[in-house]
C-alpha cells in the first residue's frame, strides 16, 4: 500500500496556491487535470464587508483544454452553469469567443458566504496549465447586487509536500508466559555418622595387698613368710629422698618344702652374720625376682 501511494504521488504531483484578499482566503490545489478551488469567506472586510453571498466566479490562464466540467460544488453541481464567457459586474456576461478552451465562468443561484466552499473542475484534452490560475469573484448583498471589487488576481502556486504514509511500528509479539517445570525434591541422603571416640574409663585402683611382715631373728635360722600376692620393698633413694615401690611377682606354686637353714655351729671367733646383712641379701633377691618378672 505504501509503495502504491508513493508511486501515485510521483505520477500525479500535488501543488497548491494561496491568495488572501480582504480577510477572504482562496486556495487552489491540482493533481494532473483536476483543479480544486476552496473559498473561506466567513470573515470578509474592506469593500466586501456588506457582502452576504457569492454569485459567480471566473478562471483564466488555464493553458489549453478540450472541455471542462464541474465535478463538485456547494449545493450540488446542478445548481451551477459553466461557460467560457468573461465575468463582469453583471455576471458571466462579457465577450468570450476567444476564451474557449482557455478560460471558464461559473454562475448560479447565489450562496451564503462561509468557509470551506469547495469547487472542483475536471479538464480533458489539451495541455491544461493549472499552476497559477487567474481568479475573479462576484460578491453580492441580500438584494443580489454586486458588492465591492471583482478581485481579478492570479493565485500564486507553492509546492505541497505530500505526507508520506506512516507505517505502523511492528508489533513485537509478547512471549507466552513460561510455566516453570515443577522440581521434584531429591530424597535426602543421610550423612554418615562418625562415632565419637569413647574415652576409656579410668581403671579402678587396685587395692594393695598387705605384705607379710619379715621377721629377722637376732641369731640362728631365718624364716621367710611368702606374701599373699605382692611384696612391696621400700628402699630409700639417696637422690630424691622418696621411696620406690617394686612389685614382687606372685609366689610360685612350689610343692616342695622350702629348705630350712640349719643353724651353723657358732665359731668361737664370733663370725655370726649381722641382721642388717641378711636384710640386704633378702632385698637383693627380691630385686632380682622383680627383674626376671619384667623380662618374662
Give the tens place of pLDDT for each residue, 188-208.
666 666 666 656 665 555 455
Average the pLDDT over 58-68 and give the result: 96
Cα dihedral 262, 265, 266, 269 sign: negative
Q: Please, which pLDDT band fits residue 250 given cuts at 50, 70 and 90?
A: low
What pLDDT is recorded for position 18? 96
Confidence of residue 181 (pLDDT cuts 50, 70, 90): confident
Q: What is the pLDDT of residues 138-168, one digit of tens each?
A: 999 999 999 999 999 999 987 655 455 666 7
Average pLDDT, the chain: 76
Given a cut of 70, whether residue 102 has pLDDT beyond it is yes
User: Would you state the pLDDT for residue 219?
Assistant: 46
Q: Which helix (H) or strand (E) holds 284?
A: helix 275-295
**pLDDT above 90 coverage of the chain, percent:** 45
> According to the model, what pLDDT value does residue 290 have?
82
- Distance CA(3)–CA(13), nearest Å, equals 15
Residue-range domains of the chain with CATH: 12-159 (2.60.40), 210-252+273-296 (no CATH)
Determine contact, residues 51/43, Cβ cutoff 8 Å: no
The CA distance from 115 to 109, in Å, is 18
More confident residue, 83 or 10: 83
Read off the pTM.
Answer: 0.52
As a whole-number percent, the residues of the chain with pLDDT over 70 amount to 61
Helix (H) or strand (E) holding 287: helix 275-295
pLDDT tops 50 at residue 234 = no
Cell 491568495 maps to which residue?
19
Least reliable range by pLDDT among 111-120, 173-182, 225-234? 225-234
- The confidence score (pLDDT) of residue 188 equals 65
Cα 245 from Cα 239, distance rounded (Å): 16
φ and ψ at residue 261, rounded to 5 degrees: -75, 125
Amino acid at each position: 500500500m505504501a509503495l502504491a501511494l508513493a508511486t501515485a504521488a510521483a505520477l500525479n504531483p500535488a501543488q497548491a496556491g494561496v491568495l488572501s484578499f480582504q480577510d477572504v482566503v482562496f486556495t487552489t490545489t491540482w493533481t494532473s487535470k483536476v483543479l480544486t478551488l476552496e473559498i473561506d469567506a466567513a470573515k470578509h472586510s474592506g469593500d466586501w464587508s456588506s457582502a452576504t453571498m457569492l454569485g459567480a466566479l471566473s478562471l483564466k490562464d488555464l493553458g489549453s483544454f478540450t472541455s471542462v466540467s464541474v465535478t463538485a460544488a456547494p449545493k450540488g453541481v446542478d445548481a451551477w452553469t459553466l461557460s467560457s464567457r468573461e465575468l463582469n459586474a453583471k455576471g458571466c456576461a462579457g465577450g468570450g469567443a476567444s476564451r474557449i478552451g482557455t478560460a471558464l465562468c461559473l454562475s448560479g443561484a447565489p450562496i451564503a458566504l462561509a468557509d470551506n466552499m469547495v469547487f472542483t473542475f475536471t479538464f480533458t484534452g489539451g495541455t491544461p496549465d493549472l499552476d497559477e490560475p487567474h481568479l475573479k469573484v462576484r460578491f453580492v448583498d441580500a438584494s443580489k447586487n454586486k458588492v465591492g471589487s471583482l478581485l481579478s488576481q492570479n493565485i500564486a502556486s507553492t509546492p505541497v509536500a505530500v505526507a508520506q504514509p506512516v507505517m505502523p511500528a511492528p508489533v513485537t509479539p509478547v512471549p507466552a508466559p513460561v510455566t516453570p517445570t515443577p522440581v521434584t525434591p531429591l530424597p535426602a541422603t543421610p550423612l554418615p555418622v562418625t562415632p565419637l571416640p569413647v574415652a576409656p574409663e579410668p581403671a579402678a585402683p587396685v587395692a594393695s595387698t598387705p605384705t607379710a611382715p619379715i621377721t629377722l631373728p637376732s641369731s640362728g635360722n631365718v624364716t621367710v613368710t611368702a606374701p599373699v600376692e605382692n611384696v612391696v620393698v621400700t628402699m630409700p633413694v639417696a637422690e630424691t629422698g622418696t621411696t620406690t615401690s617394686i612389685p614382687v611377682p606372685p609366689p610360685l606354686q612350689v610343692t616342695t618344702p622350702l629348705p630350712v637353714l640349719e643353724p651353723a655351729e657358732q665359731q668361737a671367733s664370733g663370725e655370726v652374720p649381722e641382721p642388717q646383712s641378711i636384710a640386704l641379701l633378702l632385698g637383693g633377691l627380691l630385686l632380682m625376682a622383680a627383674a626376671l618378672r619384667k623380662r618374662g
